[in-house]
Amino acid sequence: MADVQQIINDVTKVYGKERKALMPILQAVVKIKNYLDDQDLISISKALDLSAAEVFGTASFYTFLDIVPRGKNVIRVCKTISCHMAGKDEIIHAIENTLNVKTGETSVDKKFTLLSTNCLGWCHKGPVMLINDKVFPELTAAKAIEILQNYQEEE
């Protein structure tokens, strides 16, 4: 796992030690480890000379900047209207059963976190989900399970 301090150094080299570097830093940390822990928030606040509360307040505003532990692969199933109409509930049930988790939870092996999220911008090809940054449109329950299996086997 990349050192958070290293990420901070790299990003501030590009953006300066200014507040506008905050989002890129938070995003870079989340990209590597899928969430920000207390210590990350503190390190970032020190680097940018912000209060830890402000960094927390900012991170907690953004759905993708998770501040609770997440699995290695974060699944976000779109729950907004078109995907709802196209059957997102089925997809979620299938994933919940496959991973033995409920929405919002992380699998015991810490490989997956299942979340539902607002519109992902694939309304013509719902249901859709993101796994980390990767998008999977036009899902069926079977397809979703197959995708998860591929991720399972990746290790």
- Where do contacts with another protein occur on this chain (CB under 8 A)? 18-24, 26-27, 30, 38, 41-42, 45-46, 48, 50-54, 56-58, 60-65, 67, 80-82, 84-85, 117-126, 130, 133-135
CB of 102 to another protein, least distance (A): 18
CB of 19 to another protein, least distance (A): 4
Identify which of residues 98 and 128 has a Cβ nearer to another protein in the complex.
128
Identify which of residues 1 and 61 has a Cβ nearer to another protein in the complex.
61
Segment (H or E) for 126? none
CB of 35 to another protein, least distance (A): 12
Q: In sequence order, what are the residues at sequence separation of 6 or more whose Cβ sits closer than 8 angstroms to the Cβ of residue 80?
A: 118, 119, 120, 123
Compute the CA torsion angle 47, 50, 52, 58 (nearest 10 deg): -110
Total residue length of the chain: 155
**How far is residue 28 from each of residues 3, 83, 96, 124, measured CA to CA in Å?**
11, 29, 28, 30
CB of 113 to another protein, least distance (A): 14
- Three-state SS for 151? helix
Identify which of residues 42 and 145 has a Cβ nearer to another protein in the complex.
42
CB of 105 to another protein, least distance (A): 18
**Cα-based angle 33, 38, 43 (whole degrees, multiple of 5):** 85
Identify which of residues 98 and 116 has a Cβ nearer to another protein in the complex.
116
Identify which of residues 56 and 112 has a Cβ nearer to another protein in the complex.
56
Q: Roughly how many angstroms between the first and final C-alpha of the chain, as a whole number?
A: 16
